[in-house]
Structures are given as structure tokens and as C-alpha cells.
């Protein structure tokens, strides 16, 4: 069996498997087993959080370039969902408590109280209701936040107002003040959050991107922060990672940056899930997480 392993770790490591590195391709064989793992890494020794391309091919187009008979299977959750919830809750509480205002006041050495924002005044919209997005939407709704969700096809989530398809896009944005991006990067979602989308959010909005940087048009985000309706943004992912030192996001007073750490992959959970999927295929079963190449995820 041959497995293509896409990773942002160089050199790649899989416990108990002999590794040989040849440029950007690594072949690993498990002693005593007919398993070969072919690993693709983004660059010659470059380590970065978040993998955008393999040998110049964007990841969301990688499945299209592979042989048609080769199945592509993605990890599902693998310990990331709970971390995503914690990250998003932290940012929502930071926003509701006006802590960004207090940080500015501290820099001015001013002792001044500002009114906190009640949760009902911060309707949350989750873009992407897959395994991770659905988990985040349910958790935020259970915590008392008003939550809407948008997906390509219709979904039902208890406590969440859902929108879908082209006809639901503008209504979803109009119902949202805090937009959380959880969608995969595909040809349909690339540059989806542009000037038009941002202008449709409720005034005083906030963007939280824990998905992929290329979902957002950077210049349009900066313009929305300057002219409205956005009051700020929390960005964990970027078009290029690490984020270049000269990028204007670094010094913008209303942008909070973290280095792609909202949900690190947990090795134990991931390894168990990969093993289960491989065993299912060996039994002739179709494992969950099978990528639909026409959709790109």
C-alpha cells in the first residue's frame, strides 16, 4: 500500500518508520509491512504553520492533479474541534469585554471604564458547517451566543439558524456581526470574503479567520477596517506563512495576530484516525473523510 502524506513538518517524521529524504519527496517504509508512505513537504527545509502548496500545486487543487484512481482522504477533527471552540470563545469574550479598548487605554495610561457588549448584541455567523465548523457553531450556541451558520448545502443544527446556497449568502451576512471563517479553501471559497461581503456585515463587526488566509481579500479587509463596517479582526491564518515582516497586518491597531495556532493537530488522535481509515480500506470499506474532487474537499 502506498500513502501520500502531506505535511508542513520538514524533515517529516512518522514513528517507527524508516525515513529517507530526497529533495521534497520522502519515502518511508514500515519494517515488516507492505506500506510505503510518500511524503510531500512545502519547501527545502522550510517549516511553516499551514500548508498551502505541494510542488507549486495549491492544496485545494492537489486532488484534481492526482491520478483519478487514487483516493484522497482527509482527517476529521483529530482533536482540533475543541481547540477551535476555545480559540473562538476567547476572541468573542475579548471582544464582548472590550479588552481591545482597554489595551489602547493602557498604552495611554488612562484609567477609564467602557461598557461591555452583551452577547445578544454580537450575533455570530459561522461560515462553513463541516465537522469543525458545526462543532464550533453548536458550542457557541450552547454558551449563549446568538449563532447563524452558512454552508454550501442545507444543514440543521440545534440552536443555530442556518443558511445555505447562493440564495442564503447575503441573508447570512446581514444576520452577522462577528464572522468566523471555518470553510475549506476551494475554487468556490477563494477570495469569498471580499469588499462586498464585508460591507454586508452588521456595523461594528469583527472577523475571526481560523480557516485559510486566501478566503479573505487582504486589501478589502484593510479597507473595511478603515472605512467600516469592521471594528477589528483576529487572524490566525494568512495567504503566506510566516506572515512577512513588512505586511501591514502586523502594525494595524485593530488586528490581532496569532501564528496559525488555533488548533494544532494532535498526533495521537491523528495517528489513530489514519490507522482506522487504512484498516477500513483493507476491509473493503469506504472510510469517512473521503474527498469529493469536484468540490475540492
Per residue of the chain (297 residues), what is the pLDDT tens digit?
666 555 555 445 544 444 444 444 444 444 444 555 555 544 433 333 344 444 445 555 555 567 878 888 988 888 899 999 999 999 999 999 999 999 999 999 999 999 999 999 999 999 999 999 999 999 999 999 999 999 999 999 999 999 999 999 999 999 999 999 999 999 999 999 999 999 999 999 999 999 999 999 999 999 999 998 899 999 999 999 999 999 999 999 999 999 999 999 888 898 999 999 999 999 999 999 998 877 777
Specify whether 63 is located in the same domain as 158: no
pLDDT tens for 76-133 read: 888 899 999 999 999 999 999 999 999 999 999 999 999 999 999 999 999 999 999 9
- E strand segments, 140-254: 147-151, 160-164, 178-181, 205-209, 230-235
The three three-digit cell numbers of residue 254, written as one number = 485593530
**Do 139 and 204 fall within a single domain?**
yes
**154, part of any domain:** yes
Active-site residue 212, yes or no? Answer: yes
The three cell numbers locating residue 138 = 453548536
Q: Are 237 and 213 in contact (CB under 8 A)?
A: yes
Parent domain of 33: 2-76+266-282
Looking at the 3D structure of the chain, how many domains does it have?
2
- For residue 192, tell me if it sits in a domain: yes
For the record, the C-alpha cell of 58 comes out as: 495549491
Q: What is the mean pLDDT of the chain?
A: 85
Q: Classify residue 203: in a domain, yes or no.
A: yes
The reply to whether 188 falls in a domain is yes
What are the cell numbers at 180? Answer: 468566523
Can you give the pLDDT at residue 46? 34
The CA-atom distances, in angstroms, between 202 and each of 159, 199, 229, 297 are 21, 8, 7, 30
Same domain, 9 and 146: no
Handedness of CA 256, 132, 291, 22 (dihedral sign): positive
Q: Which residues pair with 30 in a beta bridge?
A: 17
108 and 67, same domain (yes or no): no
Residues 237 and 215 in one domain: yes
Sheet holding 17-22, edge to edge: 2-6, 36-40, 25-30, 17-22
Together in a domain, 133 and 278 = no
Residue matched to cell numbers 519547501: 43
Contact predicate 91/122, CB 8 Å: no
* 3, 278 contact by CB (below 8 A): yes
Residue 289 lies in a domain: no
Tell me, yes or no, whether 234 and 211 share the same domain. yes
297 is a domain residue: no
pLDDT value at residue 17: 43
99 is catalytic: no
Same domain, residue pair 136 and 220? yes
Is the domain of 88 the same as that of 101?
yes
Helices H / strands E in the chain, number of each:
8, 13
pTM attached to this predicted model? 0.81
- Return the pLDDT at 291: 86
Q: Do 233 and 275 belong to one domain?
A: no
Q: Which among 48, 135, 177, 260 is annotated as catalytic?
A: 260
Establish if 288 belongs to a structural domain. Answer: no
Q: How far is residue 238's CA from residue 216's CA, in Å, rounded to a whole number?
A: 9
* 196 & 215 share domain: yes
- CATH number assigned to the domain comprising residue 242: 3.40.50.720
Q: Is residue 30 part of a domain?
A: yes
Q: Do residues 129 and 60 share a domain?
A: no
Q: Which residues, at least 6 apart from 221, have a Cβ–Cβ distance to it below 8 Å?
A: 193, 198, 207, 230, 233
Choice among 212, 240, 266, 283 that is catalytic: 212
User: How large is the greatest C-alpha to C-alpha distance in the chain, in angstroms?
Assistant: 68
Amino acid at each position: 500500500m502506498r500513502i501520500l502524506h502531506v505535511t508542513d513538518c520538514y524533515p517529516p517524521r512518522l514513528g517507527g518508520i524508516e525515513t529517507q529524504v530526497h529533495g521534497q519527496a520522502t519515502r518511508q517504509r514500515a519494517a515488516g509491512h507492505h506500506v510505503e508512505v510518500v511524503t510531500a513537504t512545502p519547501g527545502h527545509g522550510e517549516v511553516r504553520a499551514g500548508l498551502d502548496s505541494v510542488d507549486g500545486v495549491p492544496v485545494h487543487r492537489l486532488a484534481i492533479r492526482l491520478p483519478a484512481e487514487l483516493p484522497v482522504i482527509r482527517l476529521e477533527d483529530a482533536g482540533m474541534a475543541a481547540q477551535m471552540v476555545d480559540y473562538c470563545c476567547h476572541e468573542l469574550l475579548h471582544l464582548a469585554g472590550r479588552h481591545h479598548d482597554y489595551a489602547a487605554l493602557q498604552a495611554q495610561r488612562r484609567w477609564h471604564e467602557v461598557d461591555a457588549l452583551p452577547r445578544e448584541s454580537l450575533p455570530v455567523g459561522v461560515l462553513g458547517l463541516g465537522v469543525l465548523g458545526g462543532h464550533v457553531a453548536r458550542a457557541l450556541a450552547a454558551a449563549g451566543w446568538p449563532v447563524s451558520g452558512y454552508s454550501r448545502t442545507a444543514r440543521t443544527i440545534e440552536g443555530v439558524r442556518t443558511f445555505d446556497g447562493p440564495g442564503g449568502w447575503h441573508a447570512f451576512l446581514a444576520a452577522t456581526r462577528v464572522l468566523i471563517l471555518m470553510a475549506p479553501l476551494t475554487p468556490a471559497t477563494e477570495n469569498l470574503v471580499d469588499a462586498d461581503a464585508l460591507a454586508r456585515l452588521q456595523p461594528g463587526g469583527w472577523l475571526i479567520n481560523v480557516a485559510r488566509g486566501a478566503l479573505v481579500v487582504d486589501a478589502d479587509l484593510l479597507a473595511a477596517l478603515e472605512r467600516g463596517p469592521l471594528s477589528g479582526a483576529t487572524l490566525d491564518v494568512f495567504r503566506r506563512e510566516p506572515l512577512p515582516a513588512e505586511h501591514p497586518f502586523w502594525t494595524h491597531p485593530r488586528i490581532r495576530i496569532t501564528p496559525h495556532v488555533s488548533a494544532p493537530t494532535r498526533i495521537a488522535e491523528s495517528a489513530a484516525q489514519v490507522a482506522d481509515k487504512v484498516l477500513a480500506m483493507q476491509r473493503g470499506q469506504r472510510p469517512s473523510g473521503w474527498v469529493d474532487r469536484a468540490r475540492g474537499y
